């Protein structure tokens, strides 16, 4: 089939655009700087111009857009997103359709990740999956009976804001001890900075000096060499993740929990430990009913997830 799907992974800094064929292969991809300072209208215009450069519009069946924030997917409106200051109730779907004259579908980026796994990733041929995207924050997406679960207002499955320790650190949402506040990359970096005084010799800070950046990767790499501070942080992370995933399993009974996002590059390190702890916590009847795996979609996860939004709606 000559018809192609355009997948747009909309970020606050960069917009990734991919042309996806019916076999789920990205035949072409590119990215542009978002340039939020130009305003909503201009950002949309630039994205559409780039698409026209990349593909003949007559070959395009639909466009899918994955965006962070609260999305009204029926109306195709971004209601609010911390990544896009000033974009309140912006009619993204209508504007892109106006420029391109093809059907456009929009979904929250974590839901988009879940659809990407269902169509192209580890969740293929599975009807019940939960996807957690581990990065700056923690997003969640749930597929149950083959359908995306969105809740009454379309904003359900905020799994990063499950409270895993009511006495835990304050989260960006204002609550205490959310999974995001305990196990996101932001949380891990905060733990490292808190340990700086007591563990100044930690390998974490050696990596930070060498690479001029402090992120989850530096902490996981230090853990690989048995660094004391890194072990403490890693154990806190695994504990929080296993508490959260145990609840997810009890609530949704998924066949698979898929961990994606930037931190999943170190999945080989933490999935066996998380699985071990979850197995100690789940009710016996759930034993053996689920698998915890890392996403294999890598850097293309955003584009494939966005394409999957369109495929799901067609």
Instruction: Please tell me the distance from the alpha carbon of residue 13 to that of residue 240, in angstroms, as a whole number.
Output: 29
> Is residue 306's pLDDT more than 50?
yes
Q: Are 202 and 209 in contact (CB under 8 A)?
A: no
Note the pLDDT tens digit of each residue in 72-88: 988 999 998 878 888 99
Residue 156 pLDDT grade (very low, low, confident, very high; cuts 50, 70, 90): confident
Q: Give the mean pLDDT of the chain.
A: 94
Residue 178 pLDDT grade (very low, low, confident, very high; cuts 50, 70, 90): very high
> Is residue 1's pLDDT more than 60?
no
Looking at residue 2, its pLDDT comes to: 57
Which of 250, 251, 248 lies closest to 259 in space, CA to CA? 248
Which of 111, 123, 135, 143 lies closest to 248 in space, CA to CA? 143
Domains, the chain, in order of start with CATH, read 4-115+300-313 (3.30.420.40), 125-295 (3.30.420.40)
Instruction: Please tell me the distance from the alpha carbon of residue 192 to that of residue 126, in angstroms, as a whole number.
Output: 38
Segment 207-230 shows an average pLDDT of 97
* 154-158 contacts, C-beta under 8 A, 24 or more apart: 154/71, 154/72, 154/73, 154/74, 155/70, 155/108, 157/110, 157/111
Instruction: Please tell me the distance from the alpha carbon of residue 287 to that of residue 220, in angstroms, as a whole number.
Output: 28
Residue 180 pLDDT grade (very low, low, confident, very high; cuts 50, 70, 90): very high
Rg (the chain; Cα; Å): 20
Segment 52-68 shows an average pLDDT of 94
CA dihedral 180, 182, 186, 192 (to 10 degrees): 180
Instruction: Return the number of other C-beta atoms located less than 10 Å from residue 66's C-beta.
Output: 31
Looking at residue 147, its pLDDT comes to: 95
Residue 265 pLDDT grade (very low, low, confident, very high; cuts 50, 70, 90): very high
> Is residue 148's pLDDT more than 70?
yes
Looking at residue 203, its pLDDT comes to: 98
| Phi-psi label, residue 205: left if phi above 0, alpha if psi -120 to 50, beta otherwise | alpha
Residue 245 tokens read as 């995933």
Q: What percent of the chain has pLDDT over 90?
A: 87
Instruction: Please tell me the distance from the alpha carbon of residue 23 to that of residue 174, in angstroms, as a whole number.
Output: 43
């Amino acid at each position: 089939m000559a018809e192609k799907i355009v997948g747009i992974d909309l970020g606050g800094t960069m917009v990734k655009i991919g042309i996806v064929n019916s076999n789920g292969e990205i035949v072409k991809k590119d990215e542009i700087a978002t340039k939020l300072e130009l305003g909503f209208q201009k950002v949309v215009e630039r994205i559409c111009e780039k698409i026209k450069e990349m593909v003949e519009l007559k070959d395009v069946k639909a466009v899918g857009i994955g965006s962070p924030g609260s999305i009204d997917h029926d109306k195709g409106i971004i209601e609010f997103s911390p990544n896009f200051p000033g974009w309140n109730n912006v009619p993204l779907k209508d504007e892109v359709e106006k420029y391109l004259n093809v059907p456009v579908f929009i979904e929250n980026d974590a839901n988009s990740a879940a659809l990407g796994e269902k169509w192209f990733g580890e969740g293929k041929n599975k009807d019940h999956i939960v996807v957690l995207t581990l990065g700056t924050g923690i997003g969640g997406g749930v597929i149950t009976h083959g359908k995306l679960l969105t809740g009454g207002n379309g904003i359900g499955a905020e799994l990063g804001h499950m409270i895993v320790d009511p006495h835990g650190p304050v989260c960006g949402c204002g609550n205490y001890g959310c999974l995001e506040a305990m196990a996101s990359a932001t949380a891990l970096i905060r733990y490292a900075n808190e340990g700086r005084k007591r563990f100044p010799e930690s390998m974490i800070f050696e990596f930070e000096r060498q690479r001029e950046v402090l992120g989850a990767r530096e902490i996981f790499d230090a853990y690989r060499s048995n660094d004391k501070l890194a072990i403490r942080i890693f154990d806190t992370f695994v504990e929080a993740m296993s508490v959260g995933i145990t609840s997810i399993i009890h609530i949704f009974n998924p066949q698979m929990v898929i961990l994606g996002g930037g931190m999943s590059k170190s999945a080989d390190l933490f999935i066996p430990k998380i699985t071990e702890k979850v197995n100690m916590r789940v009710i016996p009847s759930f034993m053996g009913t689920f698998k915890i795996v890392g996403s294999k979609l890598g850097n293309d996860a955003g584009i494939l997830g966005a394409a999957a939004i369109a495929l799901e709606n067609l």
